[in-house]
Amino acid sequence: MATADVTVLGAGVFGLAVAYECARRGARARVIDPAGVAAGASGGVMGALAPHVPEQWNDKKAFQFRSLVMAESFWADVAAAGGHDPGYLRSGRLQPLADDAAVDLARQRVQTAAELWQGQADWTVLPAGGSDWEPRSPSGWLVRDTLSARIQPRGATLALAAAVRALGGEIVTEGAEQGAVVEATGWRGLAASGAGNGVKGQAAVLGHDAAPLPQIYGDGLYVVPHANGTVAIGSTSERDWTDEHATDDQLEVLIARARQALPQLADAPVIARWAGIRPRALSRGPLLGPWGATPGRFVANGGFMIGFGVAPLVGQVMADLVLEGRNSIPAAFWSGEAGSEQ
C-alpha cells in the first residue's frame, strides 16, 4: 500500500477497532503484529459483553453503556464490510439472587436502570422457574438485563481484520511505522512500560446448543451460549502463573460448577480448554490517548475483561484523536499523565 496515515501496533480487538474506524474515515491504516491476528487475549473463547450494575454512575460506566448500545450496529457494519460473522447477539443475561437483601437491592436497581440506561435496555427482577435455562437461585428470584450481549472473540477479531483489509488497510507481521502510531500491544506492552500487567484467565468450550439463550452469571462464573452450538465456561483470574497457555484444576472446578448449575450441561463434552493473559492497566480501566514524549504516538490498551464490550467506542474516540485532534476520551481513561512518564 502507499505510505500509511496510521500505524497500529497490535492485531487484537483494540488495535483492529482503531484501524477499522480510521480506515472507515478514509485513512490508510497499517496494522503490525509479529504474532498475527487474535494471537493474544482477543483469541479467547468467552465473549460475554455485560454492563456494570446501574448505579453510582461514572465515566467508565457511561462509556461502557454507550459502547454496548452501539455494538449491534457496529458489528453488523463490520460483518458487511469484511464478510465475516463476529457471532454477535444481544441475548441478555440472567443472574441468581442469593438472599432477601440481594433481592431488595436488585429491585432498587430497576428504577436506576430505567433512568441511566435511557430506555434502551431493561433490568428486571423476576421469579425463578420460568425456564429450563436458568441458574439455581437461593432466593427464588433472578435478575435479567437486556443490555448484555455475546460475541465470538476470535471470530469477531478476524471479522475486524477482514473489514480493515476490505477498506484498503493492511495487516502484516513486520513493517515500518508510518504516520501516527497507536500502541495496542496487550499485556506485554503495559508491563514493559510500567503502566499495567497481565492477568491470566482460563475458560472452556462445551458442546451444547443454546445459541439464542441468555448468558448466565453468578458467583464469578460465566456461562455464555454461542451461535455455533457451543457454550463457553469461565473464567479464572490469576495474578501469578508459570505457563500462560496451560489450564489446570482451577478450570476443572469451573466446569464442574457449571454442570451443577445447569443440568443441561451435565453430559456436554468439553471441546476445548483455553488459557491466556488479559491486559490490565494500573488504572483498572482502558488506557487511551497520547503516549510518551513523541508527538503523534498514542496508546489503546488495557481492555482486560471489558475489551470487546468497549471496543466499538474505543475505535471511535481514538480515531477522533488520531485523525482530527479531537479529545472525546473520558478523563478516567486518559493516558496523558501516564504517557508523559514513559
pLDDT of 337: 55
Inform me whether the pLDDT recorded for 336 exceeds 80: no
Mean pLDDT of 138-163: 98
pLDDT band at 338 (very low <50, low <70, confident <90, very high): very low
> Which pLDDT band, with edges at 50, 70 and 90, does 123 fall under?
very high
* Cβ contact 232:294 at 8 Å: no
CB contact at 8 A, 264 and 124: no
Which amino acid is located at 35 in the chain? A
Q: What is the length of the chain?
A: 342
pLDDT of the residue at 1: 64
Cα dihedral across residues 281, 283, 286, 292: positive or negative: negative
Q: What is the mean pLDDT of residues 235-256?
A: 96
Average pLDDT for residues 31-52, to the nearest whole number?
Answer: 97
One-letter identity of residue 43: G
Indicate the average pLDDT of the chain: 95
Q: What percent of the chain has pLDDT over 90?
A: 95
All three cell numbers of 221: 462464573
pLDDT above 70: percentage of residues in the chain = 98
The burial of 320, by beta-carbon neighbours within 10 Å (0-12 exposed, 13-18 middle, 19 or more buried), is given as middle
Tens of pLDDT, residues 221-239: 999 999 999 999 999 999 9
pLDDT at 284: 87
For helices 59-82 and 307-324, angle between their N-to-C axes, nearest 10 degrees:
80
User: In this model, does residue 32 exceed pLDDT 70?
Assistant: yes
Every domain of the chain and the residues it spans: 6-89+148-195+283-339
pLDDT, tens digit (0-9, with 9 covering 90-100), for 77-102 = 999 999 999 999 999 999 999 999 99
Q: Is 339's pLDDT higher than 60?
A: no
- Supply the DSSP string of 158-174, one letter for each residue: HHHHHHHHHTT-EEESS
Alpha-carbon distance of 202 to 275, in angstroms, equals 4
- Top-confidence residue, 195 or 1: 195
CATH level 3 topology of 6-89+148-195+283-339:
FAD/NAD(P)-binding domain (3.50.50)
Looking at residue 341, what is its pLDDT? 34
Find the DSSP H helices in 83-214: 100-116, 153-166, 186-193
168: region left, alpha or beta (phi > 0 left; psi from -120 to 50 alpha): left
* Nearest one of 97, 76, 24, 58 to 316, comparing CA atoms: 24
The dihedral formed by the CA atoms of 155, 91, 56 and 311, expressed in degrees to the nearest 10: 20
The more confident residue out of 293 and 19 is 19
**pLDDT tens by residue, 257-288:** 999 999 999 999 999 999 999 999 998 899 99
pLDDT score recorded for residue 3: 87
Q: What is the value of pTM for the model shown? A: 0.95
Residue 242 burial class via C-beta count within 10 angstroms: exposed 0-12, middle 13-18, buried 19 and up? exposed
pLDDT, one tens digit per residue, over 180-196 is 999 999 999 999 999 99
